[in-house]
Amino acid sequence: MKKVKSISAIILFGMMAGIGGCKQSDTRDDELITVDVTANYPKKEVILQDFMDVEYIPLETNDEFVTQGKVLEIGNKYILVKNQINDGDLFIFDRESGKGIRKINRRGQGAEEYIRIDAVVLDEENNEIFVNCDTSGKIFVYDLSGNFKRDLAHGEGPEYLYIFNYDRENLIRYDDGKNKGIQSYHAIISKQDGSITRDIPIPFDKIKTPTLQMEGGLVFTNVSSIIPYHDNWLLAEASSDTIYHYLSGENKLIPFLIKTPSSTDPEIFLNMGALTDRFYFMQTIEMTWDTAERWFSTTDLMYDKQEDALFRATVLNGDYLKKQEVNMTSCLVNSEIAICRTLEAGELVEAYENDELKGKLKEIAAGLDEDSNPVIMLIKHKK
């Protein structure tokens, strides 16, 4: 599924972190939306299946294919997943059936090996897998059998936080390289040698990072910097109050959303999530610590284009008889699949035994046990 190094918070010194929010416009995509991140918007519940298609794929379980099911990338033919631990295993499953196809492991210290898997891009058109390893400062390119083909050096800078398939010849990435003294962290890069095909600078005045100084150390998280949007992209930078619609064919940035106020104390960041024909999902992340959640203080928001209004959003999965919330601001995939979620087998078995499921999900859960691989939930744009 994805191209993001990790939309989960990155933690230093053993602590954890969070994410960012939206407001008003008319229903046209070219209208600029303004979001007051300090406002107290009304609450609204929506049922996921009312505006999105949902597909469930149970991953095959056997002696070779046992995985914790952290989805990295989803294509038309394949699903790529790894374990939460850094064991180097990269599993390839059939996209339609969930059947295990192949397990690749190129973890090591050699010139053709990754130290860890930070992100993966699947290029089915060229039959290649791009494995981003920040520790090595490289993207390792393999064929679908795991044979090494080449590597792409990051160049100067700390790490590629987000990386997506752009076109047949290029990737699009976000490099959190603020120590370089430049103001262009988004770029199109060559799939052949990693060189920059095109810089996409986003202007800002002052560097801002979503970090919080805690007693145990510095805690920080990422704000989504590349968001698939129809056949183009939304591009965001935590230091900028504006999120831009990037028209790739024209190489043009158009302001899409503005966060207000520009400065708050404590700082509040805005993180974009899935965008549908009617709803734009997002989250505010305030630089204060929620002790109960052990996370930054966050608020889920939803802009309703039809009503031209913002709400504090709760999205519910209609395949559960009890309320089951769906996170719409992480695990972004592509223009077909908005969001991907991993459903643990043990939790599904328990819900089935308690008669809390219905439809296709209930049928799938009936065939699981606690040791089964996870079920992958794809939240797709309606056709």
Domain extent at residue 225: 33-381
Q: Are strands 160-165 and 148-153 parallel, antiparallel or unpaired?
A: unpaired
Beta partners for 121?
A: 130
304 inside domain? yes
* CA distance linking residue 210 with residue 296, whole number of Å: 10
* Entry pTM: 0.88
The secondary structure of residue 320, as a DSSP letter, is B
The answer to whether residues 300 and 44 touch, using CB atoms and an 8 Å cutoff, is no
* CA distance linking residue 193 with residue 195, whole number of Å: 6
335 inside domain? yes
Non-local CB neighbours of 257 within 8 Å, separated by 6+ positions: 22, 32, 33, 34, 35, 242, 243, 270, 272, 280
40 inside domain? yes
Helix axes 345-353, 359-366, angle to 10 degrees: 100
88 inside domain? yes
Would you call 5 exposed, middle or buried from its count of C-beta atoms within 10 A (0-12, 13-18, 19+)?
buried
Domain tally, the chain: 1
Give, for all 383 residues of the chain, the pLDDT tens digit. Answer: 444 443 333 333 333 333 233 333 333 455 799 999 999 999 999 999 999 999 999 999 998 999 988 999 999 999 999 999 999 999 999 999 999 999 999 999 999 999 999 999 999 999 999 999 999 999 999 999 999 999 999 876 657 889 999 999 999 999 876 555 555 689 999 999 999 999 999 988 888 888 888 877 888 888 999 999 988 999 999 999 999 999 988 999 999 999 999 989 999 999 999 999 999 999 999 999 888 878 889 999 999 999 999 999 999 999 999 999 999 998 899 889 999 999 999 999 999 999 999 999 999 999 999 999 999 999 999 98
271 inside domain? yes
DSSP one-letter string for 110-121: STT-BS---EEE
Structure tokens at 337: 């699949």
* Cα dist from 368 to 79, 156, 302, 322, whole Å: 20, 47, 34, 20
45 inside domain? yes
185 inside domain? yes
Domain of 355, CATH number, reads 2.120.10
50 inside domain? yes
